[in-house]
């Protein structure tokens, strides 16, 4: 394979860190170190923010929409040319099955295409104000945006923050998660090759704990766009409040999957395992609380469990693999603690929860039954391959239980009764919901959470709005 990027990407080139403390990057499938990655110091971050601001002022802000469009389409084209490399690096750093990594590399390119096209379709308004004259709005860039992203979908999430922020005319300082810096660094390099001026996209690997405060509080940062845990998100909001920084936060979830007896129950049971176990359950949209109408409960559980046992857990390099390892030994330990606590509490583990291989952070996907609504495994985000399934009798009571969660990100609902589908869809407290489908993310549609699942929206035109300030201009007569 060609060279792995290991340094900071600042002002259009790779640079070493001022602190000289590289961190080993472990392939979770083999437990071997694949690279030593430089970590940005607080000083590096401040310098990168300052030069990102310079790059913004020097011309990116004022580039014509047509030229910005060309640069973003060029980035998309180069991402497509480098798709296999992106997929391989992603798969090796976090154990993502290679077929998923390829799909996500393509998704990243599509995000750039969408926002490249959006630049010339993102319009203001003319407003017939009462006093006459002429009134219109402008959508203007903010300045430097800090984008902080997690390790579970590193490449697509980086793209869906960076692309609309650049499209709107901002410059971006991107901080990838410590466990997944490689594809972010590649994105920086590819964007530069595609004609993005130096400094407009800086990529700074390193520890969030060490550099997070500077990224959020630096006076030149105008907005922080974050995806990650609710605890870090809430800290970012607190710090950002001091400078009244704009924030958008995509946080945790504990999403429901609701199956009514009138649904195509067999199809729901076959498709539902991947709605929680995809990406080895490390998915903020994972439908980890399944609510099944009692009349079809046993039938659903039997086929769901059988389908779960057939999922192909294994080496991420193989095309047929559906579930790779968890991202780290620590993450697997967290997940195993949930399972052993449930087992000790007398809950039934109907499948999985054990380690299939001696090497690599693998875990067989676990189906937990007979849980109580007060159980930790039912209430808290596991962020691993664990699902709980409970029966329900009454629609209204079930919806109360669904909404009895601090989270509200995603969810599915299976029914063939149109009126019920629309009634329940209105009542579920979540930012994203799918009916007779598992799909949560569409490049063209807004994505984000209610309640403690977040604030603001990624994707669609909503994201573009979120990277601009709205100015009203009045022309007197």
Strand partners, 470: 139
Name the catalytic one among 104, 159, 284, 293.
284
Q: With contacts defined by CB under 6 A, name the span among 145-153, 161-169, 257-265, 289-297 that binds ligand NAP.
A: 145-153
Cβ-contact 263, 414 below 8 angstroms: yes
Name the catalytic one among 250, 271, 381, 429.
250
Nearer to ligand NAP, 184 or 259 (CB): 184
Torsion of CA 280, 281, 286, 290, to 10 degrees: 110
Distance CA 314, CA 161 (A): 31
Nearer to ligand NAP, 334 or 473 (CB): 334
Phi, psi of 448 (to 5 degrees): 170, -175
Does 293 contact ligand NAP by CB under 6 A? no
Q: With contacts defined by CB under 6 A, name the span among 18-26, 250-258, 338-346, 397-405 that binds ligand NAP.
A: 250-258
Nearer to ligand NAP, 58 or 235 (CB): 235
Footprint (CB under 6 A) of ligand NAP, residues 222-241: 227-229, 232, 235-236
Go through the chain and tell me how many residues it has.
477
Strand partners, 292: 259, 391
Min. distance of Cβ 76 from ligand NAP in angstroms?
A: 22
Does 141 contact ligand NAP by CB under 6 A? no
Residue whose structure tokens are 């994707």? 459
Tokens of 375: 């159980």
Residue 279 region, left (φ>0) first, then alpha (ψ -120 to 50), else beta?
left
Pairing of strands 412-414, 256-259: parallel
* Active site (annotated) includes residue 50: no
Distance CA 91, CA 280 (A): 13
Identify which of 214, 177, 169, 192 has the alpha carbon closest to the alpha carbon of residue 47.
214
Tokens of 249: 């936060």
Nearer to ligand NAP, 113 or 458 (CB): 458
Q: Name 195's Cβ contacts closer than 8 Å, sequence gap at least 6.
A: 70, 71, 74
Total Cβ atoms within 10 A of residue 62: 10
Nearer to ligand NAP, 112 or 151 (CB): 151
* Active site (annotated) includes residue 250: yes
For the window 162-181, what string marks contact with ligand NAP as x by the rule CB under 6 A? Answer: -------------x-xx---
Min. distance of Cβ 275 from ligand NAP in angstroms?
A: 15
- Could you tell me how many residues of this chain bind ligand NAP (CB under 6 A)? 28
Answer for which of 90, 100, 250, 429 binds ligand NAP (CB under 6 A) is 250
Nearer to ligand NAP, 106 or 237 (CB): 237
Does 151 contact ligand NAP by CB under 6 A? yes
Task: Give me the residues that bind ligand NAP (CB under 6 A), please.
Answer: 148-152, 175, 177-178, 207-209, 212, 227-229, 232, 235-236, 250-253, 284, 381, 383, 409, 449, 454
């Amino acid at each position: 394979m060609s060279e792995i990027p290991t340094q900071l990407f600042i002002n259009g080139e790779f640079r070493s860190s001022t602190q000289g403390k590289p961190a080993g990057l472990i392939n979770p499938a083999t437990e071997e170190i694949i690279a030593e990655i430089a970590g940005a110091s607080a000083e590096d971050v401040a310098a990168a923010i300052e030069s990102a601001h310079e790059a913004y002022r020097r011309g990116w802000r004022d580039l014509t929409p047509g030229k910005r469009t060309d640069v973003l389409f060029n980035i998309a084209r180069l991402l497509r040319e480098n798709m296999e490399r992106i997929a391989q690096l992603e798969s090796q750093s976090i154990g993502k099955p290679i077929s998923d990594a390829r799909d996500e590399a393509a998704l990243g390119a599509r995000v750039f295409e969408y926002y490249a096209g959006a630049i010339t379709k993102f319009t203001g308004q003319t407003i017939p104000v009462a006093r006459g004259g002429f009134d219109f709005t402008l959508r203007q860039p903010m300045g430097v945006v800090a984008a902080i992203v997690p390790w579970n979908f590193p490449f697509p999430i980086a793209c869906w923050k960076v692309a609309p922020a650049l499209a709107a005319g901002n410059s971006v300082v991107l901080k990838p998660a410590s466990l997944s810096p490689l594809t972010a660094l590649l994105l920086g390099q590819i964007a530069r090759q595609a004609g993005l001026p130096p400094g407009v996209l800086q990529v700074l690997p390193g520890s969030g704990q060490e550099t997070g405060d500077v990224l959020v509080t630096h006076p030149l940062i105008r907005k922080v766009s974050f995806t990650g845990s609710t605890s870090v998100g809430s800290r970012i909001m607190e710090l950002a409040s001091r400078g009244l920084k704009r924030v958008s936060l995509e946080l945790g979830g504990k999403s429901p999957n609701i199956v009514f007896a009138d649904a195509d129950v067999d199809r729901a049971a076959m498709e539902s395992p991947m709605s929680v176990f995809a990406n080895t359950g490390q998915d903020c949209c994972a439908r980890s609380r399944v609510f099944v109408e009692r009349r079809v409960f046993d039938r659903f559980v039997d086929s769901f469990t059988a389908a779960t046992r057939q999922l192909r857990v294994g080496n991420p390099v193989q095309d047929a693999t559906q579930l790779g390892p968890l991202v780290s030994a620590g993450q697997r330990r967290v997940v195993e603690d949930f399972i052993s606590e449930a087992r000790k509490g007398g809950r039934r583990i109907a499948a999985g929860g054990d380690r299939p291989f001696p090497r690599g952070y693998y875990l067989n996907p676990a189906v937990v039954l007979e849980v109580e609504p007060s159980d930790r495994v039912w209430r808290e985000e596991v962020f691993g391959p664990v699902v709980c399934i409970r029966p329900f009798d009454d629609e209204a009571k079930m919806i109360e239980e669904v909404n009895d969660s601090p989270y509200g990100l995603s969810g599915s609902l299976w029914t063939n009764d149109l009126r019920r589908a629309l009634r329940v869809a209105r009542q579920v407290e979540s930012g994203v919901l799918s009916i007779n489908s598992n799909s949560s993310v569409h490049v063209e549609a807004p994505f984000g959470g209610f309640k403690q699942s977040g604030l603001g929206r990624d994707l669609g035109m909503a994201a573009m709005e979120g990277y601009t300030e709205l100015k009203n201009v009045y022309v007197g007569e």
